[in-house]
Amino acid sequence: HAKSAGRNTYKFFTAEMNLQVRERLELENLLRQAEARNELSVHYQPQVELAGGRLIGCEALLRWHAGERGNIPPDRFIPVAEDTGLIVPIGRWILKTACAQAQAWRQAGLGDLQVAVNASAVQLHHGDFVETVATVLAETGLPPDLLEIELTESTLMTDADSAAATLRALKVLGVGLAIDDFGTGYSSLAYLKRFQLDRLKIDRSFINDLPADKDDANITRTIVGIARNLGLSVLAEGVETPAQHQFLLEHGCDEGQGYLFSRPLPAGSMEALLRATGTRGGA
Ligand code: C2E
Ligand code: MG
Ligand code: MG
Ligand code: MG
């Protein structure tokens, strides 16, 4: 009995694995053609000053409309793009698109809106990342301080020496640096200091159950304290309720991003918002 049960389990797992492998391969093939087919777009999520609600920037978030298969969320296809290296050309496209967009808004007189672009470890450790950023800034004309690169703790910790060198080169260019999903990965304060960051983004998992969850409340207060001590700005991700907003304000968090303020918006809607409200650097 044990033997046949074992065999069935084995069969079950292989069938399951085959399906996963096939789905992944299919996703990979679709993803290879996504850019050429104009299936990729960038949405922009407003970032605001918690006191007063002023717009201070936006985060560029990749969207993929895969033809008949519809929208595929980043959490499903980014890992595939990372494993296959496709994140490198796609990442270049996002960077270029987001910087060109921010510059177009400036030139239309809509203000100096900083745009934050996510970068994976694969991109950061790919030889020409700094050169790619420099080229995109030169080609689009966007002032370097209006670009921020978001990196996670695990990205910084994989090959920390090489990451530190890359970040130093990005600082020389004048680009802003943020640590994304802060609190979910492993990092030491000594490392944080070494990386010349500008901003900590508190992961949404700590914000979600505020203010009721005492552990999350303590963690959030602690992260705000760390940011203060290191002289960094601090932004809360995933702010959805007025009660969360209030808690963050009371505990010294400067900035927020989340559905309470706005969902990620297609470029046209972001532009309409800019026309309606203006930005920090705007007229
Ligand atoms: P992230 O960089 O932490 O981005 C924030 C995610 O939280 C976004 O999900 C955003 O839509 C979502 N979000 C924002 N406010 C709220 C809120 O109030 N409530 C909830 N429940 N969610 C909120 P999205 O766009 O699905 O992206 C997921 C992840 O995929 C990103 O997390 C990032 O790690 C990755 N990603 C997205 N675009 C890119 C990209 O262009 N390049 C790279 N390398 N990764 C990307
Ligand atoms: Mg991010
Ligand atoms: Mg995040
Ligand atoms: Mg994330």
Paired strand residues for 65: 71
Least confident range from 78-82, 175-179, 186-190: namely: 186-190
Q: Are 63 and 271 in contact (CB under 8 A)?
A: no
Choice from 80, 118, 181 to test ligand 1 binding pocket (greatest atom count within 8 A of CB): 118
Give the predicted TM-score (pTM) of the model: 0.93
Percentage of the residues of the chain whose pLDDT score is greater than 70: 93
Reported as a single tens digit per residue, the pLDDT across 66-123 is: 988 999 999 999 999 999 999 999 999 999 999 999 999 999 999 999 999 999 999 9
Q: Describe the crossing of helices 214-230 and 242-250 by its angle, rounded to 10 degrees.
A: 50
Reported as a single tens digit per residue, the pLDDT across 215-255 is: 999 999 999 999 999 999 999 999 999 999 999 999 999 99
216 lines ligand 1 (CB under 6 A): no
Q: How confident is the model at residue 51 (pLDDT cuts 50, 70, 90)?
A: very high
Cα→Cα distances 172→8, 130, 165, 188, Å: 59, 10, 11, 24
Q: Whose CA is nearest to atom 3 of ligand 1?
A: 181
Buried b / exposed e over 189-222, threshold 16 CB at 10 Å, is eeebebbebbbbbbbbebbeebbeeeebbebbee
DSSP element (H, E) containing 135: helix 129-140
Cα 45 to its chain centre, rounded Å, is: 10
How many angstroms separate the alpha carbon of residue 244 from the centre of ligand 1?
19
73 lines ligand 1 (CB under 6 A): yes
Check whether 3 has a pLDDT greater than 60. Answer: no
202 lines ligand 1 (CB under 6 A): no
258 lines ligand 1 (CB under 6 A): yes
pLDDT at 24: 87
